[in-house]
Amino acid sequence: MSRRAALAALLALLPALAPRAAPAQNVTVEDPVLRAIWQEGTQNGQAGRLGQVLMDSIGPRLAGTPNMQAARDWVEQRYREWGIPVRQERYGTWKGWAAGAVHADLVAPRRQTLVAHLLAWSAGAARPVEGPVVVLPEAATRAEFDAWLPTARGKFVLTTPPEPMCRARQELEKYALPETVKWADSVRQAGRRAWAPRLAAFKGNPGDALKALDSAGAAGVLTSNWSGGWGATRVFSGLTRRAVALDLSCEDYGLLARLATNNQGPRLRVAAETRDLGEVPEFNVVAELRGSEKPDEYVLLGAHLDSWHGATGATDNGTGTVMMLEAARLLKAAYPNPKRTILVGHWGAEEQGLVGSGSFAADHPEVVQRLYASFNQDNGTWRVQEVQAYGFLDGIGHLARWMAKLPRDLSGRLELPAPGELTNTGSDHYSFLCRGAPGFRLTSEYEEYRQYTWHTTLDTWDKIVLPELQTNAITAAMLAYLASEDPVPLGRERALAPAGARGGGALECFPPARTFRER
């Protein structure tokens, strides 16, 4: 076999090999349902197969895009194939938008292709646009800024401070002299202080400056939101209706800033394909295993299906989606007639403010009132490390009992802080927590996730750790089973926060923004 043929054969095998990634097999489980979940999950795990399709074939899942609708339809179809009742529940509408190819080139004083991503819902360019690159000016008053503004027409404007160095800090601290680290910090701080006057006319609000540039006919607005990790920037939404809004890599943005501030005549040529699709409906996907004894009491597994668009949303939150999909498949195989109703929610528009889960909670007070336990997962780089009970006093005891029944290979690596965090508004668990319902969170190691994959251009399939993703799905299925079977009522009394601490007492529910206009 030639090298080329051997490589092609290996690549063809990769999707099939992925599901076989699984935990160790030498585990004794006494409970027959837990044993069945373990055996199905370790011997016939589908997490890798599911994840490969979601991340590679469907891709990023920004609210309002065709990809997001394709993802919802794909999730629904998986449940139907497994014989699990499922529905798409409409909760609102969003700005419909589709992005195509993006190409940005420095064309003067030399030529170089740059790493660029469109900001979400930004305008594109019907044909390639070329223009000079300038820096947002210093302006103490709005009148000074308005006097400069006509000169921005047809230009690309740098609107965020450049980084003096794009090295990950941990490498700098490991290899550089202490005085070099101090120098790097001082240069960065000085650069941010020097940038502040450029937004003084807008009282530090960059959004108002971007809107003014858009109205003035700027060809484009350029940003760079470096994550602090090698090659990773965070890509969010744009505020322009006419001007192309681009995020550039840390170094490419720094290159343009250095050329512009040193009067070396940088010019940019940008081609950006987008389609405005008008207002489109948005949905949650909700699967249901109906309870056989207590159908009006609920156990909820949840994860948001949407993502930002700078990459494929692998760890935020494709892994959470796959984890709950696979958990539902395992439950159907090992526990098809649960005592309590088990729901699986694949929420929309979490990245826009918990919109999908918040809408579901608002629209289904009967679920919230009779919610026995919910488990949410939203950072999937590594194995679930911690279960956050958010101060529910009964919840801590119940979780401890459930975790004690898990195979040692799982429970031995899980932590249960008591009382743990009392609040955290950062994911869909909060939509239920703020309404007094037990919203628990399954969390993984955060440090590397926040630096390298959270909302970044590097959040792709290759960051998924397949054995740990399969283990996470097994853990979620087992916890849902144990919660469904538990005969002891779970009270809703929460621990009190220490004097002066945040997060105790009543929590505020934020009304979900069900349309783009409410955002």
Q: Is 201 within 8 Å of 139 (Cβ atoms)?
A: yes
Q: What percentage of the chain reaches a pLDDT higher than 70?
A: 92
Q: Please provide the average confidence, as pLDDT, over all residues in the chain.
A: 92
For range 251-261, the mean pLDDT? 98
Q: How many Cα neighbours within 13 Å face the side chain of 106?
A: 21
Print burial letters for 183-203: b (CB count within 10 Å at least 16), e (below 16).
ebeeeeeeeeeebeebbebbe
**Percentage helix, strand, coil, to 5, in the chain?**
40, 25, 35
Task: Report the pLDDT value the prediction gives residue 2, as an integer from 0 to 100.
Answer: 56
Is residue 355 predicted with pLDDT exceeding 50? yes
As beta bridge partners, residue 343 has: 288, 300
Which range of 10-14, 69-73, 394-398 scores highest in mean pLDDT? It is 69-73
Task: Report the pLDDT value the prediction gives residue 65, as an integer from 0 to 100.
Answer: 98
What CATH number does domain 99-277 carry, 3.50.30.30, 3.40.50.1820, 3.60.15.10, 3.30.70.20?
3.50.30.30
Task: Report the pLDDT value the prediction gives residue 7, as an integer from 0 to 100.
Answer: 47
Task: Report the pLDDT value the prediction gives residue 206, as an integer from 0 to 100.
Answer: 84
Task: Report the pLDDT value the prediction gives residue 21, as an integer from 0 to 100.
Answer: 41
CATH 3.40.630.10 domain extents, the chain: 27-85+290-518
The pLDDT-based confidence of 5 (bands split at 50, 70, 90) is: low
What CATH number does domain 27-85+290-518 carry, 2.80.10.50, 2.60.40.10, 3.40.630.10, 3.40.50.300?
3.40.630.10
Residues 6+ apart with CB under 8 A from 44: 19
Task: Give 307 or 496, the one with higher predicted confidence.
Answer: 307
Task: Report the pLDDT value the prediction gives residue 10, as an integer from 0 to 100.
Answer: 42
Task: Give 506 or 461, the one with higher predicted confidence.
Answer: 461
Is residue 9 predicted with pLDDT exceeding 60? no
Tokens 């490498």 correspond to 171
The pLDDT tens digits of the residues spanning 270-295 come to 999 999 999 999 999 999 999 999 99
Strands 86-108 and 156-158: unpaired
Is residue 1 predicted with pLDDT exceeding 80? no
Is residue 504 predicted with pLDDT exceeding 80? no
For range 227-246, the mean pLDDT? 94
The residue count of the chain comes to 519
Nearest-angstrom CA–CA distance, 432 and 361: 7
CATH 3.50.30.30 domain extents, the chain: 99-277
